[in-house]
Structure 1
Amino acid sequence: MSSISLTRHLIEAQRQGQLTPDLQLLLEVVARACKRISVAVGKGALGGVLGEAGQGDSINVQGEAQKKLDVISNDILLEANAWGGHLAACASEEMEHSQPIPDGFPRGNYLLVFDPLDGSSNIDINASVGTIFSVLRCPDGVTAAGDADFLQPGHTQVAAGYCLYGPSTMLVLTIGHGTHAFTLDREQGSFVLTKADLRIPQETREFAVNMSNQRHWEPPMQAYVDDLLAGKDGPRGKDFNMRWVAAMVGDVHRILTRGGIFIYPWDGKDPGKPGKLRLMYEANPMAMLVEQAGGAATTGRARILDLQPTSLHERVPVFLGSKDEVEAATRYHLQHDGAHA
């Protein structure tokens, strides 16, 4: 049987009424932009793209040092999506405010949200990084989309995905009808379907969390991980392994492939922030991908996709992956809350 390209997959989905022609074209534009980012990542030091962006402009809106590839990836996505006529506006983790499509180009009915280079601290050590994106509908009647138009609950997303720049470049995508993985065939220059309908095992013995923050966690998170570490002799009755890539894309891709739970909880290092990860750019798209693959995603207390965003750069705790384990972690938090109400 011949291989199925991303283009063919999207066209067939369009024929089945699962997406509009404009959304199909938008997703292809994003995929082409990811190919360009993949080339830049692949060149590494040979392309002069390693290191920080430079003096003055090297701190982004999140207060984080920007890498050269952060800036390059952001510019690639903005330029690729400016002229196609499918978007009303873009919002990036690297920019304080959303950016409407320039006046010289036609405007479409969708909003694109993206983290141009997740895990950019891994760039200089040649470890996995990725791009995360989410597509929303522009509200009816809006002629000039602004920040407020992006503030939609995650369950309203019409598409979400990420591109993983690892030993091979992979695009993982959902349009609300399952989660599918495509691998970039560099000779052909196209993404090819390599795994349809990814399914996360319901149970797991693997967790991903930054243990260096353990002393800052709240009591239910401390209790949950203590029970994992107690292994088969503890209350969970089985041994767990820990894995940590330090790039959300890498950790989530492992979970989509073989199961597990990824956790980035609230911690007391910066008690004024409700979490580390961004709801719009990271938590929502990953939650949609995981739920479409049979997993679950919560804040430890509530379903992520039900949250009403209040700002573009809002942060939340994240627990996602194998359904039974996410429910167990959430239960620890809710039981603690109930006991201390």
Structure 2
Amino acid sequence: MTEPKAPSTAERGLLGGLRDRFSGAISQVAAAGALIVVFVILSIVAPSFLSADNLFNLGSQTSVNAVMAVGVTLVIITGGIDLSVGSVAALSGVVGVMLMADFGFNPLLGILGGLAVGAAAGLVNGLLVSVIGLPPFIATLGMLSVARGLVLIVTGAVAVFGAPDSFRLLGQGVVGVLPIPVLLIVVVALLGHLVLTRTRLGRYAYVMGSNLEAARLSGVPVKRYTTSVYVLAGALAGLGGMIAASRINSGQPNFGEGLELDVIAAVVIGGASLFGGRGTVLGSLIGAFLVAVIRNGAVQLDIGTFYQNVLIGVIIWLAVWWDYYQRRKLGSEAGG
């Protein structure tokens, strides 16, 4: 009797990729299920949760995290991490408001200025990782401190006011019945999805995250594309900072402290792997809404911020443990 032919290396790689995608899909479904359950429970125990005002605020609040999560998704898919998004968002928001209040820029130019600040911070992160060779954790941890320090220096730790009232449209405006921040989530998510699925940057991001050395040997310009994902993440952090500043029509130097925790939690909960090579924009959006609903519901139930942070931290533990467990399982199956 002829023995069954062992799968080739290519076939094993294909099967492993399919299993990995299936595992990511399971994580997304689990996150979506958790979001539905939490939403229903809060609708029952907190009657004001379903009020129009609260849902409007929930959508606006989620927009900041969701927009930033799209950028962080790109970084994490490459196997990197960005711990600086909260501080970069604060710096971008403050500079954008200062451009309008102190230098007379119109709101559009002020917003673009904030995005440019975020992109510049992302460029520094990308160069530190791709050219200097610093680990992403160290490079972005340093940027977290640098950006926060710059915020305090340029503002003197005092909030910046004086932006024109029209600037409020970005964070408080409505088109029909939909808040503009929610529309921004849709636009950024669609663009992020197209980047991941229809561009060379997206394809190379997955390749680099799966095996950086193999990507380099295959001719992928790793330095260029690594830098690019950090620039995009920085620009989207800048946009998140401008949305947040618009909601209160001021630049707050203390904005974004600990925000990176929520953003990274959203991406990981949505099925992205901190080991790289896996993640989707849809999953990150689900994660962002889950984190936002939990925090909003906690406020409705008068649960303090400290307890919220504990809960989000535990959720991160569980999500990373699940990813690690799945990868060990897939590795053992591939080896077998």
TM class by smaller structure: under 0.3
Computing the radius of gyration from Cα coordinates, the structure with the larger value is 2
Higher relative contact order (CA 8 A, sep 6+): 2
TM-score (norm 2): 0.26
TM-score (norm 1): 0.26
Structure with higher strand content: 1
Structure with higher helix content: 2
